[in-house]
């Protein structure tokens, strides 16, 4: 029986094998482009543009940095790239991930390891750092839920936890054209790499 195709051609010309990804097949331009066109919340957000995973990633990195101002640059880069595999596997909402099961997580982990190695990060982020990135991710999710996804504050508190009030007041949810977000994501990635 013929094996189903498990690779995707990227706009850079790279051919990314989803079952066996290698760092050599990862390009930041492909990641930025893909994430700028992947909608968070399955596109169920207010505004003229979808709230993209690239925009979310920029916000998570900003929140992580504010919460951890002395964090090494490499962990800020890890925060920016925390959802990078979604450039090829999409952003599945939590209920869908639960229904799909452990196969999704395995695929995500393989892609993340290849992405991290490609950009000089360890394949696995230390647990303490991962928890801080997840905390920033949950604050971002709370803000998105309340400001653009139609959740009440009480619902967001229940699902994502109450955020730090200073961050909640000052963090900005931006809805922009994909080309703008792609450019800013690529720029921020370059800034962080230059500081490593």
Q: What is the DSSP string of 4-68?
A: PP-EEE-TTS-EEESSS--GGG--HHHHHHHHHHPBGGGG--SSSS--BHHHHHHHHHHHHHHH-
Q: How many helices (H) and strands (E) does the chain have?
A: 10, 2
- As given in the structure block, the two tokens for residue 64 are 């992580």
How large is the C-alpha radius of gyration of the chain? 16
Task: Give pLDDT tens digits for 83-99.
Answer: 999 999 988 877 777 77
Which residues on adjacent β-strands are paired with residue 9? Answer: 15
Say yes or no to pLDDT of 188 above 90: yes
* Contact partners, residue 89, CB within 8 Å, separation at least 6: 18, 104, 107, 108, 111
Helix (H) or strand (E) holding 154: helix 153-160
The CATH label, of 1.10.10.60, 2.170.150.20, 1.10.3210.10, 3.30.200.20, for the domain at 27-39+50-194 is 1.10.3210.10
Tell me the three state secondary structure of residue 86. helix
Task: Give pLDDT tens digits for 129-187.
Answer: 999 999 999 999 999 999 999 999 999 999 999 998 899 889 999 999 999 999 999 99
DSSP 117-134: HHTT--SS--HHHHHHHH
- What are the structural domain ranges in the chain? 27-39+50-194
The mean pLDDT value of the chain amounts to 94
User: pTM to 2 decimals?
Assistant: 0.94
Q: pLDDT band for position 6 (50/70/90)?
A: confident
Say yes or no to pLDDT of 192 above 90: yes
């Amino acid at each position: 029986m013929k094996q189903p195709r498990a690779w995707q051609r990227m706009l850079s010309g790279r051919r990314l094998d989803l079952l066996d990804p290698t760092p050599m097949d990862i390009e930041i331009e492909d990641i930025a482009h893909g994430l700028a066109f992947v909608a968070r919340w399955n596109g169920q957000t207010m505004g003229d543009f979808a709230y993209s995973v690239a925009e979310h990633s920029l916000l998570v990195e900003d929140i992580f940095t504010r919460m951890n101002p002395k964090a090494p640059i490499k962990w800020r880069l890890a925060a920016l790239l925390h959802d990078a595999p979604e450039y090829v596997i999409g952003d599945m909402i939590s209920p869908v991930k639960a229904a799909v099961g452990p196969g999704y997580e395995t695929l995500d982990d393989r892609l993340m390891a290849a992405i991290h190695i490609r950009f000089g990060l360890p394949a696995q982020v230390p647990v303490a750092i991962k928890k801080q990135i997840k905390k920033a991710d949950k604050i971002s999710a709370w803000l998105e839920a309340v400001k653009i996804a139609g959740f009440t504050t009480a619902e967001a508190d229940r699902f994502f936890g109450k955020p730090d009030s200073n961050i909640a007041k000052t963090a900005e949810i931006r809805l922009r054209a994909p080309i703008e977000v792609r450019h800013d994501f690529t720029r921020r990635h370059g800034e962080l790499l230059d500081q490593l």
